[in-house]
Structures are given as structure tokens and as C-alpha cells.
């Protein structure tokens, strides 16, 4: 359940976080130029309402649509949200958070339904009119149905907050907020819930206390000062001052989480200090004019309303003092505790909140990279990660397989998020690491950092293949796997599926695969993306299509203007057809080439087939 909440919260905050700059810009314009602002200006103040009622909801919807349906989903989400904006009297940030993903989902499903059925030459017509017609329909639905519903929701939420304020109950939300922060639900709570309500309040009163509930740096500052003054562990004591500076001025609240995890009972300090501070703010009717993100004292004061700077600052000081007074005896009585262990625990928790299941381990013997067929993306990812961890001397075997055939002795399985259910079913005993792509991903960096912390018990890295297999690999002729005829340069950009079919046709024409393998490559892309990062994609067939592979082959197509793979563009596409492991050596060579910036630039700009061919021999 916690993972589900974290995932949903991450999705909500994912629509808001990229637009925080726009929210701050609106807040500063409001604080500076409205009639009650620092520098009243009737002309500049006319920007306040259009930004609030039109720009912000559309930006949020655009981001939400893009998260679900890519660039086309972003446009759909923006169009659909206009109906909600025009059909409601309030600022429709919540409406944008609903209609954006809905618009993205609608166009995504439409594209899937017509994939491969559009007559040649009608692609642009259908692509444009599908967004236009479906966007219009959603906008009308938004105007007559979603807008009024969202207005009612906002009234209920705002009314609920008002009741909490009037009954002096609002301060007690800190009982839930402070523990949730340490569980990495802070962004979900702050930007997924408090920010939309806060903006509605700001539109009515010019400020909102909702922006202050989670972002106050005072509670964390008090804990860090307590460790600085009273910790018996030298490492912890020496690290606390630097952490306090980063926390207070940089606004990175996560830096104090390990200090809480060392002594979980210390969570009482931020809870109590937040309760008192929120109560103080309600007494003085305090608020901020925009979200304080990050929760830095600088950002906090920058969005304080005119005339309330000292009140806002006072709340930070009160929170810090109370948190310090409560935390100090706990730190004194706790004895010396290991900040490194607490930091490692925090990183595990953070990784878990982002899709990296953090089951503790003392030894890892085998890591398995899995994709649908176990032939292309996972092979490249396994090669890269194997080379990356080799200097650690941990003796870990790194292989790649189909996601449905993960060996029973796998300790860790790395796969794309969309394949995680299949991976869990295939290897329930293994720890699961979900990623966006196999070459560059934050969760892979996190896994590497964890492996660095393991005590090295073996000095020789295990080899996954037996010597006889190695001899067979060495006997494979790369010139047969990649031919000059399989290299095409300077191609005109087309739709992703068309580019994949173009790649498959070249494999077929060179005798590597049967004709049905071409559509299997498109089907594979719809299961999970074959985009690797660095402008490289490696389309290949599904596991069911392996029987169509006649012999091992790799082709390379260069699209200088790029092929759209969601938010990324692939300049180079390596089509793969593999028999056994014959293609792995060449895949490793490709991996080495694309990791070197100068060689990648040469490949992207190459005009000579001979030059490209030589790079892979």
C-alpha cells in the first residue's frame, strides 16, 4: 500500500514540480505589484489573474498529459483543460491535474488503436485531426461536467481547511506531515495536495497558510543543531553543522532524515515544533503568496507577503528552538550512533519510494538484466553495468535474460517499470530494480552505490559463460554480423513505428530474419521502449518471434534529425536479430563506442559507411 501511495504521490507531484518556477513567478508578481504589494503597479498587476486562471492550469495539464501520452498527450491535456478552466469560477489547478492525464490517456489509446492501420500519406492528417477532434470533445466534457465537479471539490477542500482553522485543528496535521516527510512522501503531500488548495486560497485572500505546513525549515534545523552540540559520535557531530547549512539555505530537507532515522523517537521534535508553529501562524493569520520550493529560508522569506516578513521568520525560529529543546535530551541519552548506517537506510527508503525495492542484502552473487526478449536492451545494459562494477571486485555475475525466464538464483533483477509484474512472477525471490532505460538511470546509480558499500569477500569477478562458450564467441565473425550493406546514413526522420519497420526491413533484406519479424519489432516496442539513452535505440523482436531469426545480424540506421521516443530522440537505431549469444560481443562493442562522447558524435555526424563500419570491427 505504501508503494502505491508513493507512486501516486510521485505522479501528482510530477505534474507540479516542473512548474514550480511558474508558480513562484506568479507569487512574486502578486507580492510585488498588486495594490497591497511591495511596489503597487496597476498595469503589471493585470498579469496576476491570467497567469493564475489560464497559464498555471494549462502548464500543469500539459505536464500531466506528457507524462501519460508523450508530446501528443501534452497537447491533448492542454486543450481538454481549457474546457475545465472556462467551465469553473475558481482557479483550476486541480482540474488541470485531472484533465491533463486524461487527455494523455485518450490520445495514447487512440494511437494504439490505429497503429499500423493508417494509409500511407494520411499520417499527418489523421495525427492532427485526431488531437483536434478528441481535444474538442474533452474540452466540451470539461466545460459542462468536470469543471463544475472540480469547483465543488475545491469548495469542499477549502471549506474543510477553514473548519480546521476555526476549530484550531490545523496544527495537528503535523502529526502526519512530519513522519510522512521521512518516508519521502513530502513532495506528494506538499505539491500534490497543499499547493492546489493554497493557490485557491491565494486567489481569494492573497496568501495561504497551506504553503507553510510542510516547507518550514525550522524543525529540521533544530534537530541538526542538537546533534552538533550533543552527539557523542564524532562523525555525526562533525557532519551536523554542514548539514544544517545545506538544510537551512539550500532547502534540502532530506539531509536531516538520516539524523531522525538514527533515533526514530526524535521524530517527536519536529512534530511538536510544527504543531506549535502552525498554531502561531494561525493566530497571526500568516501565509505565503506562493509555494516555498525548495524549503529554504531564502525561498521562505522571498514569498512572504509585504509586512509579514518578521512573522514568517518568527515561525521558523520558534520551530527551530522547540525542535532543538526536545531533540537535545534524546541525542544526549542515545549514545554514539552511526550516521553512515542511517544515511544508507535513508537512501534505501528513498530508492524504495522511487521504484527500487530495498530488501537488505549482505552478499550479491547474480544480477540479471531483463527485457521482453532478453536480446537487445537488457544485453546492452548488462554489459555496461558488468563493466562498471568490475573494479569493485565483488565477484558478482551480471547476465541478461528474457523477463519471463529469470534464473532462480538471481539476487537482483533489473527491468523497465512496465515489466515489473512479469519480473516479480518470474523471480519472486529476487530484489527488483525498476528503471527507465538501461544505460543511464538514477536507480542504477543507487544500486551501484549500495554495491560499493558491500564488503569485498572475493577478489575475482565471476564469468557467466564457460570457456568453451567464450571460444565460440571469439570464433564469431563480426563482419558477418554487421555488414556495410546494413549501415544506412542520413535518413529522413519518420514516425517511431515506421523507423522500426524500416530497421526490420533491412534485417529481412539482408537475410537475417523472416518477414514477420518486422511487425514483431513494433510489437516489442509497444511492450517496453527499446530506447537506451544517449540518442540510441536498439529495436528487436519479441521473445515469441525468436523462431523468425535465421542468423545473427545487426544493422545501423542513422537519423540526423532524430526519431521521437517519448521525451527523447534517437539519432542511431541498431536493429538486432540474435541466435544464442552470438550478438553479445558486437553489442558490447557498440556499448563501448556509444559511451565515448567523441565516437558518438562521429557516429551521429558520419557520412561515410566505411568509417562507421571500421568503428565496430
Query: Which is catalytic among the residues 191, 253, 508, 540?
Result: 540
Rounded Cα–Cα distance for residues 582 and 551 (Å): 9
Asked if 139 and 80 touch (Cβ cutoff 8 Å), the reply is yes
Rounded Cα–Cα distance for residues 576 and 551 (Å): 11
Query: What's residue 234's pLDDT?
Result: 79
**For residue 314, which of 420, 175, 226, 218 has the smallest C-alpha distance?**
218
Alpha-carbon Rg for the chain, nearest whole angstrom, is 28
Beta bridge partners of 311: none
DSSP 547: G
Intra-chain end-to-end CA distance of the chain, in Å: 51
Instruction: List all residues 6 or more positions away from 176 whose beta carbon is below 8 Å from its beta carbon.
Output: none
Would you state the cell numbers that stand for residue 19, as one nine-digit string? 512548474
Rounded Cα–Cα distance for residues 194 and 291 (Å): 9
Query: What's residue 184's pLDDT?
Result: 60
256-262-265-269 Cα dihedral, nearest 10 degrees: -20
Sign, Cα dihedral of 552, 553, 554, 557: negative
Instruction: List all residues 6 or more positions away from 119 whose beta carbon is below 8 Å from its beta carbon.
Output: none
Would you state the cell numbers that stand for residue 158, as one nine-digit string? 477549502
Query: Which is catalytic among the residues 191, 247, 253, 371?
Result: 371
The answer to whether the bond into 239 is cis (omega within 30° of 0) is no
Instruction: List all residues 6 or more positions away from 433 whose beta carbon is below 8 Å from its beta carbon.
Output: 355, 356, 357, 412, 413, 414, 415, 443, 444, 447
Rounded Cα–Cα distance for residues 25 and 31 (Å): 10
Catalytic: 540?
Answer: yes
Query: What's residue 586's pLDDT?
Result: 59
Rounded Cα–Cα distance for residues 285 and 273 (Å): 18
383-440-68-90 Cα dihedral, nearest 10 degrees: 160
Rounded Cα–Cα distance for residues 336 and 230 (Å): 10
DSSP result, 409-425? T-SEEEEEGGGHHHHHH
* Residue ranges for the chain with pLDDT beneath 70: 1-10, 13, 154, 157-158, 161-162, 165, 183-192, 335-362, 372-377, 437-440, 454-479, 580-589, 592, 595
Counting Cβ atoms within 10 Å, is residue 244 exposed (0-12), middle (13-18) or buried (19+)?
buried
What pLDDT, in 10s, does the model give residues 406-452?
888 888 998 887 778 788 888 887 888 888 766 667 778 778 878 87
Rounded Cα–Cα distance for residues 290 and 34 (Å): 14
318-322-324-330 Cα dihedral, nearest 10 degrees: -170
Query: What's residue 457's pLDDT?
Result: 43
Task: Give the CA count within 13 Å in the CB-facing half-sphere of 152.
Answer: 5
- Three-state secondary structure call for residue 487: strand
Rounded Cα–Cα distance for residues 579 and 486 (Å): 17
Beta bridge partners of 35: none
Question: Which domains, ranges and CATH numbers included, belong to the chain?
Answer: 1-10+172-187+205-354 (no CATH), 358-464 (3.40.50.2300), 476-615 (3.40.930.10)
Rounded Cα–Cα distance for residues 346 and 254 (Å): 9
Beta bridge partners of 553: 577
SS3 letters across 56-103 = HHHHHHHHHHHHHHHHHHHHHHHHHHHHHHHCCCCCCHHHHHHHHHHH
CB atoms within 10 A of CB 536: 26
Residue 458 dihedral angles phi and psi, to the nearest 5° = -130, 145
**For residue 546, which of 517, 509, 526, 575 has the smallest C-alpha distance?**
517
Amino acid at each position: 500500500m505504501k508503494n502505491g501511495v508513493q507512486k501516486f504521490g510521485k505522479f501528482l507531484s510530477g505534474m507540479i514540480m516542473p512548474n514550480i518556477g511558474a508558480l513562484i513567478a506568479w507569487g512574486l508578481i502578486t507580492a510585488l505589484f498588486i495594490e497591497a504589494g511591495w511596489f503597487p503597479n496597476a498595469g503589471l498587476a493585470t498579469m496576476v489573474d491570467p497567469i493564475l486562471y489560464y497559464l498555471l492550469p494549462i502548464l500543469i495539464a500539459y505536464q500531466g498529459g506528457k507524462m501519460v501520452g508523450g508530446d501528443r498527450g501534452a497537447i491533448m491535456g492542454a486543450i481538454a483543460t481549457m474546457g475545465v478552466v472556462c467551465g469553473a469560477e475558481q482557479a483550476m489547478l486541480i482540474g488541470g491535474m485531472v484533465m491533463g492525464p486524461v487527455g494523455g490517456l485518450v490520445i495514447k489509446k487512440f494511437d494504439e488503436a490505429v497503429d499500423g492501420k493508417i494509409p500511407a500519406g494520411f499520417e499527418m492528417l489523421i495525427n492532427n485531426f485526431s488531437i483536434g477532434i478528441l481535444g474538442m470533445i474533452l474540452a466540451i466534457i470539461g466545460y459542462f461536467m468536470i469543471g463544475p465537479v472540480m469547483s465543488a471539490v475545491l469548495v469542499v477542500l477549502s471549506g474543510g481547511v477553514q473548519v480546521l482553522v476555526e476549530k484550531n485543528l490545523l496544527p495537528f496535521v503535523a502529526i502526519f506531515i512530519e513522519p510522512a516527510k521521512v518516508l519521502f512522501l513530502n513532495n506528494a503531500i506538499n505539491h500534490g495536495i497543499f499547493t492546489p488548495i493554497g493557490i485557491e486560497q491565494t486567489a481569494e485572500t492573497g496568501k495561504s497558510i497551506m504553503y507553510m505546513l510542510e516547507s518550514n525549515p525550522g524543525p529540521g534545523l533544530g534537530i541538526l543543531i542538537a546533534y552538533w552540540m550533543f552527539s557523542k559520535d564524532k562523525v555525526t557531530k562533525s557532519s551536523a553543522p554542514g548539514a544544517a547549512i545545506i538544510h537551512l539555505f539550500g532547502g534540502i530537507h532530506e539531509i536531516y532524515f538520516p539524523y531522525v532515522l538514527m533515533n526514530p523517537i526524535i521524530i517527536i521534535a519536529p512534530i511538536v515544533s510544527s504543531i506549535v508553529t502552525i498554531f502561531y501562524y494561525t493566530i497571526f493569520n500568516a501565509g505565503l503568496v506562493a509555494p516555498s520550493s525548495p524549503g529554504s529560508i531564502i525561498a521562505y522569506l522571498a514569498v512572504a507577503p509585504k509586512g509579514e516578513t518578521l512573522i514568517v521568520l518568527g515561525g521558523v525560529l520558534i520551530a527551530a528552538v522547540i525542535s532543538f529543546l526536545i531533540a537535545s535530551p534524546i541525542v544526549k541519552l542515545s549514545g554514539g550512533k552511526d550516521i553512515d548506517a542511517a544515511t544508507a537506510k535513508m537512501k534505501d527508503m528513498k530508492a524504495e519510494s522511487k521504484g527500487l525495492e530495498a530488501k537488505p542484502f549482505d552478499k550479491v552473487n547474480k544480477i540479471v538484466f531483463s527485457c521482453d526478449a532478453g536480446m537487445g536492451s537488457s544485453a546492452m545494459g548488462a554489459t555496461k553495468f558488468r563493466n562498471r562494477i568490475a573494479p569493485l571486485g565483488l565477484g558478482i555475475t551480471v547476465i541478461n535474460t528474457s523477463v519471463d525466464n529469470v534464473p532462480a538464483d538471481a539476487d537482483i533483477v533489473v527491468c523497465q517499470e512496465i515489466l515489473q509484474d512479469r519480473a516479480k512472477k518470474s523471480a519472486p525471490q529476487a530484489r527488483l530494480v525498476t528503471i527507465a532505460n538501461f544505460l543511464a538511470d538514477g536507480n542504477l546509480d543507487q544500486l551501484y552505490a549500495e554495491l560499493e558499500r558491500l564488503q569485498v569477500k572475493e577478489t575475482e569477478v565471476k564469468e557467466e559463460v564457460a570457456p568453451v562458450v567464450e571460444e565460440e564467441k571469439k570464433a564469431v565473425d563480426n563482419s558477418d554480423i554487421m555488414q556495410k550493406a546494413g549501415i544506412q546514413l542520413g535518413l529522413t526522420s519518420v514516425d517511431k513505428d515506421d523507423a522500426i519497420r524500416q530497421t526490420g526491413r533491412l534485417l529481412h533484406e539482408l537475410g537475417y530474419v523472416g518477414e514477420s519479424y518486422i511487425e514483431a519489432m513494433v510489437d516489442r516496442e509497444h511492450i517496453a521502449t527499446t530506447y537506451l539513452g544517449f540518442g540510441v535505440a536498439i529495436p528487436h523482436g519479441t521473445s515469441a518471434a525468436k523462431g523468425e531469426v535465421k542468423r545473427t545480424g545487426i544493422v545501423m540506421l542513422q537519423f540526423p534529425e532524430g526519431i521521437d521516443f517519448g521525451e527523447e530522440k534517437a539519432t542511431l537505431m541498431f536493429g538486432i536479430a540474435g541466435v544464442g549469444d552470438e550478438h553479445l560481443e558486437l553489442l558490447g562493442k557498440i556499448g563501448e563506442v556509444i559511451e565515448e562522447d567523441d565516437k558518438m558524435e562521429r557516429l551521429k555526424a558520419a557520412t561515410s559507411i566505411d568509417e562507421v563500419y571500421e568503428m565496430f570491427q
